[in-house]
Amino acid sequence: MLHISRFQALDFIQVSRHLRSVIVTATVIVACACTAPNTTMTLNKQQYIKKRAELITKHSIQDNTFSTLKAQVKTDDLTSSEYWTWRIDQYLYGQYPEFQPIYNAYTQGKTFQQIYNLPAENLEFETTVPKKLPSLPQGYFTDNLEGNPHRGDNFVFNNKVFITYQGHLTDPYVAIFDLQEHSWEGPYKAAESTLSKGGRKIDSHGRPIIEQDSKGHIHIVYGGHGGEREDGLNPLSIDTPHAGGRMLHVMSEKPNDITTFVQVNDISPFASYTKSYTMANGDIYLFTRAGTHKSPWVYYKMKGGEQHFQAPVIITWPTPQTSNPINVDTFYINPLKISDTEIAISYLWHECNFNEVHDKETYSRINAYYMKLDTTSDTFYNAQNEQLSLPITLTSANKQTLAFDSTLRDETPFSTVPLIMDTPALAYEARTKEYREWRMVALQNGEWQHSLPLPGTQKRTVRDLEDRDIKQVQRLESIDHDTAVVIYKNKQGHTVFATAKKISESQQEWKVNKTYLDLANTRIEMDSVKDNKANTLAVILNVKSGDAQRLYLWHDGQFFGNH
């Protein structure tokens, strides 16, 4: 069991700032990235090997992960030996921080290839640029987007929508839409990403988030999918940076201005995934995974009145399975602000492995869990309001936060989302070979009930313009008491975006009154633009047809394009 106290001694902000100075100057020296500040100790190779071996022997008494990883080495294969040496080093570096000064003292001044005799990363992915893109309707506000950039992120201030999204080659872009003047500012490229550069395949993990601090400056965090080899070893993980792409943080030079951004050196470049919320008191919480798959989830806090994130708080910790340490129990979490002072977190168990073999059918996603963060005290509680100790492991999660046990069911909870209800609840995407649908888990009379219909869907009917029942409603969201926006599949198999009117006071019967998009062979995804009172002011659509993909903003019954 790893205790949080092991990380309290680590001045991670200083380490992260040191890392970032390497990134800014484009220096490819591992020692700068992984050497602790003010380190004076140096070790030659023989001294290093001796101290490393002593630590592995010491911890192997209780930890059979070392022997398991060593057993993966292919005999008489130098590349295999070097590769698993690197993986063992990272496990030792993250799991047992006493190794960190030893490793740093030996690697100071050395490049990655000088530490490990491994071939350079293969960055020769060839992308074929199509000569002709499928046509999409007018009204979009972005260039064509490669990969899967989702719907970006947004907030509303002074009746203006500030939007960021993953644009060309995964760089973060930012724009402002004035809800009164119906005019655009931007888009501008806010910063550079390393995620899909140098021949890498386009990667959607670097999707940016956008927040505004109490002084009016705009913050964008973006681009992360595990860091780069040149960043050294990750002090907050047992997993190497094998995916690539640094997590970076930039802030606008001026309040409420999106034209120029400067780098802020306060987060780990190894992080992956982003989700953030601003609380009523101005505190900003950024949730992220601290590295690649077998990494803890953490949150960073920027206190109201400040413009830097504090050191990360570790929420979960990955644990190799005792009986078979090649497998690692870790999580995927999803936070949601449910009140001015609380953030709910739903999550699932992800059974990963050091061999990087991934189940493409279920992706080894199991169970559903629920907990919440009280931001007035930064304390975690389960649904029964019992205080939780950090970090959460699979053992403690199963004991205190398990909401749905899927292990005995032919059902994969592929993803989870907290729900805002009078009782603790979450939605999970149930997948089997026969169906794929969202269901709810809710705490009722002190007991978790699963496989429930989502609120507002059990008796809901939606009719099209010809007054026929729509069988495949993909998304419906109310934008006022009588009006909703809806995405559905029609009889021809086209994806439709439309508005609908409520035709009964039960709020369960709707009729489409206007169609805006009716597209064949097209995927449409939708996010709401809400004000600080949770009123829906607009929606952002991601419309994708083949290699053509654009973002649209719909407001007051029309699309407002910017091209």
Catalytically annotated residues = 205, 273
Instruction: Return the amino acid letter for 233.
Output: L
Burial 419-454 (b: 16+ CB within 10 A, else e): beeeebbbbbbbbeeeeeeebbbbbeeeebebeeee
| R_g (Cα) of the chain, nearest Å | 24
Could you give the CA distance from residue 68 to residue 490 in angstroms, rounded to a whole number?
A: 53
> Which H or E run contains 31?
helix 30-34
Question: For residue 218, which phi and psi values (nearest 5 degrees)?
Answer: -95, 135
Expressed in angstroms, the distance from the first to the final Cα of the chain is: 55
CA distances from 27 to 18, 108, 174, 244 (A): 12, 13, 28, 17
Could you give the CA distance from residue 415 to residue 130 in angstroms, rounded to a whole number?
A: 32
Could you give the CA distance from residue 283 to residue 337 in angstroms, rounded to a whole number?
A: 12
Cβ atoms 439, 452 nearer than 8 A? yes
The beta strands (E) that lie in 37-81 are given as none
Q: Which two tokens mark 358?
A: 């991934």
DSSP state of 132: S
Which residues have a Cβ under 8 Å from the Cβ of 339 and sit 6 or more positions away?
Answer: none
Cβ atoms 86, 70 nearer than 8 A? no
Cβ atoms 470, 459 nearer than 8 A? no
